[in-house]
Structures are given as C-alpha cells and as structure tokens.
Amino acid sequence: MTHTLPNGTRVDDTFAEAFGMWGARAIITAETAEWASAAAQTVTGFATSIIGCRVEAGVEADLAATATPDGRPGVSVLFFTVRQEDLRDRLVERIGQCVLTTATTACYDGLPDASERLNIGGPLRYFGDGYQISKQLAGRRYWRIPVMEGEFVVEEHFGAQRAVGGGNLLLMAGDAATTRRAAEAAVAAMRTVPKVITSFTRGIVRSGSQVGSRYRFLRASTNSAFCPTLRGVAPNSQVPEGVGSVLEIVLDGLDLAAVTEGMRRGLRAAAANGATHISAGNYGGRLGQFQVRLHSLLEETA
C-alpha cells in the first residue's frame, strides 16, 4: 500500500528499521574555522558504516566562537558504535591521530551531562612524554600536551549515551541525475536537525546493503530488491516501473526523536525535489528494535 502526495510522489507503507548504538560528541576548535573544519573532516574519515569501518561518524554542525568552550571557531562531530568500549577506543585513536596532529586544534566533550564517562584525554596525555600537565575547571579536567607548534588541549572525560543508528530513506526517480538532486535536498534538510549525522559521502550511499549474503563470509551484500538493473532478474525486486535510479540516506542520532525528525524533513525535501517514489529498508524486525514508519512522517509533526 502506498500514499500518493499531492505532487505525485508515492510513499510506501513501510518502516525504516533502526537499532541501538552508543554515541559521543566531540567539539573541535581551532584558530580559524578552516582548520577546525579540516580536523573534523579528517577525524570522520573512513567512518561510513560499522559493517567495515568499526565506527560511524560525521559532522553535526559548524559552531560559532560564541558556542565553543574556548571562544574559538569549532565543529561538533558525532561518533557511533554498537558497543560502549568500542566507542572509547575509536575516540582515542581518532582524536590522537587526527585532531592532536592538526595545527591549532583543541578537543572537548560535547555531552557533559551524559552519565556514562569515557577516559579519552587520559590515554592521550602520555604523548607528552612526562611533560604534560593537567588543569581542572568547574569540575572538568583538561590535559595540556606539549607539541612542536605549542600545546594541544584535550578534555579528560567524554560523555557517552545510548543512541540510534540505521534510520534510512530509499529515494527513487526515473534517472540518476534527478534521484541525486532529490537526495542532496534531503540531506540538506536533515542537516538542520541537531543530534543527527549522515555518515556516507555527502550523506548519500549508492550501494545500500541487505543483511547477509549468499557468500557465507560476507555480513552484508547489495540490496538486490532495490537495484534497478536487477528488476527483471531478482525475484524479490521492489523497484517500480519507470524508476531508473535508487539512492539511500542513512541517519544516526543521539536519540530516536532526532532520527525521526531528520527522516521527516528529508522525506519532504526529497518529494519536493523530484523523487517519484520513497521507501525504506527493513528486515522484518530482525535487525533492530526501532521502527520509523514512513506514513507517520507525513503528519505535520513526527
């Protein structure tokens, strides 16, 4: 069953199947917005999917100097893993290799009210080779690590909280260019929602996957049901006639409400920018415990 919008876009009566994760937020600052952005882009590299990257990460928002702990331009970055201990390891690795190494940067916890605390600056302080010093302000400890440029400041503990991964939309149109425009508009709309990221390149994934494979060594494989070139071959094809291209957008968020609102804004933007059909990926409840129904997103508030 589908619902047809006034402009003709058809929205399937289905749900996006999301699952539980752990999330953290890092605030990266620098002398200029350009350096902060460069550090954020580096620290979120190779972090599209936990299928092969061990972490999903992305830029949440650019921050004005008035919104950062040290009064400098900044970027907020979100990280997501399935297990809490993995989140700690990925933060230590990435902040140490990608932020500490970037000129003029500092790094702070963006979830100070989270009850779960991860020791991130503690392990990183050893790079100071005994010359590092700590400083405590308002009950929060920071480490000053000497580097050749000057010093790197990093907060000792970062908050971690339960989060949601795998919110998604499948966007379809008659040709690749139209589908791409619809997807770009959807991502732009989603980026207006705090607490969410779209971890794939420019927020869009061309190679949506299904759980499992006919090859036993693979955890996931191409989503054959939504591959237009397999419409006459795959027995489970769900590609409508007239659709020549499908793109997926995957959202992670610090809570279900944020993921749901991101999907709502993205769906409406895609429909307004050329998507002829909109669906979502689910696996009958086998993957995750959260179900975001597309028809509920058509209501005024999600």
Look up the pTM and report it.
0.95
Structure confidence at residue 121 (pLDDT): 98
CA-based angle 216:211:257, to the nearest 5?
155
Q: How far apart (Å, rounded) are the C-alpha atoms in residues 217 and 214? A: 9
Of 92, 127, 161, the position where a domain reaches its end is 161
pLDDT by 10s per residue, the chain, length 302:
789 999 999 999 999 999 999 999 999 999 999 999 999 999 999 999 999 999 999 999 999 999 999 999 999 999 999 999 999 999 999 999 999 999 999 999 999 999 999 999 999 999 999 999 999 999 999 999 999 999 999 999 999 999 999 999 999 999 999 999 999 999 999 999 999 999 999 999 999 998 889 999 998 999 999 999 999 999 989 999 999 999 999 999 999 999 999 999 999 999 999 999 999 998 777 778 999 999 999 986 44
- List Cβ<8 Å contacts ≥24 apart for 186-191: 186/249, 186/265, 186/266, 186/267, 186/269, 186/270, 186/273, 186/275, 187/249, 187/266, 188/269, 189/265, 189/266, 189/268, 189/269, 190/249, 190/251, 190/262, 190/263, 190/265, 190/266, 191/61
Of 130, 161, 192, the position where a domain reaches its end is 161
Instruction: Please tell me whether residues 117 and 91 are part of one structural domain.
Output: yes
Q: Which domain holds residue 285?
A: 2-18+164-297
CATH of the domain at 117: 3.30.70.520
Structure confidence at residue 300 (pLDDT): 61
Instruction: Please tell me whether residues 152 and 205 are part of one structural domain.
Output: no
3-state secondary structure (DSSP) of residue 233: coil
Instruction: Please tell me whether residues 36 and 152 are part of one structural domain.
Output: yes
Of 128, 146, 161, the position where a domain reaches its end is 161
CA-based angle 29:33:79, to the nearest 5?
50
